[in-house]
Amino acid sequence: MHLMHRNPALTVDAVVVKNKKILLIKRKREPYRGHYALPGGFVEYGETVEAALRREVLEETGLVVRIKSLVGVYSNPHRDPRGHVVSVAFAADIIGGTLAGGSDASDALLWDIAELPPLAFDHAQIISDSLVRR
């Protein structure tokens, strides 16, 4: 007998800080359309979370990043209005590319970390956790 399991979806989020500025994207789609968020997205089947992070950052911001460290795993079943989504957040450094919004992002920019806008999902908490670990 084969049992079907309902599993949470898996995403990644990147915390990229450079010169007291943080990399944010402006969301092109719901949920939180028009809000700022960390670059990231869904992990594809057969893909590692690390590869997904590099791919999503490149697609959304035009930047190539190197992962520095794990920030944390965010698993509150209510963190995403689309359903139960677990995110693995990484701190990363820019190692190449040209900053430009793409894919799910209408814009990508480096934002002053001391004056963050309201953020989508639980991204303010992820940023806070990342800064504490620095």
DSSP character string of 81-103:
TTS-EEEEEEEEEEEEE-----T
Encode burial over 24-41: b for 16+ CB neighbours within 10 A, e otherwise. Answer: bbbbeeeebeebbbbbbb
Q: Is the peptide bond before 31 cis (omega within 30 degrees of 0)?
A: yes
Nearest-CA neighbor of 9 among 106, 75, 57, 61? 75
What are 59-112's pLDDT values in tens digits?
A: 999 999 999 999 999 999 999 999 999 999 999 999 999 999 998 899 999 999
| Distances 55 to 11, 41, 65, 77, 118 between C-alpha atoms, Å | 12, 9, 9, 25, 25
**Other CB atoms within 10 Å distance of the CB of residue 44:** 12
**pLDDT of the residue at 88:** 98
The encoded tokens of residue 37 equal: 């968020």
**pLDDT of the residue at 3:** 72
What's the pTM value of the predicted model, to 2 decimals?
Answer: 0.95
Nearest-CA neighbor of 40 among 58, 66, 22, 18? 58
**pLDDT of the residue at 1:** 61
Query: pLDDT class for 133, splitting at 50, 70, 90?
Result: confident
Domains parsed from the chain with CATH numbers: 9-133 (3.90.79.10)
Query: pLDDT class for 4, splitting at 50, 70, 90?
Result: confident
The encoded tokens of residue 115 equal: 């004056």
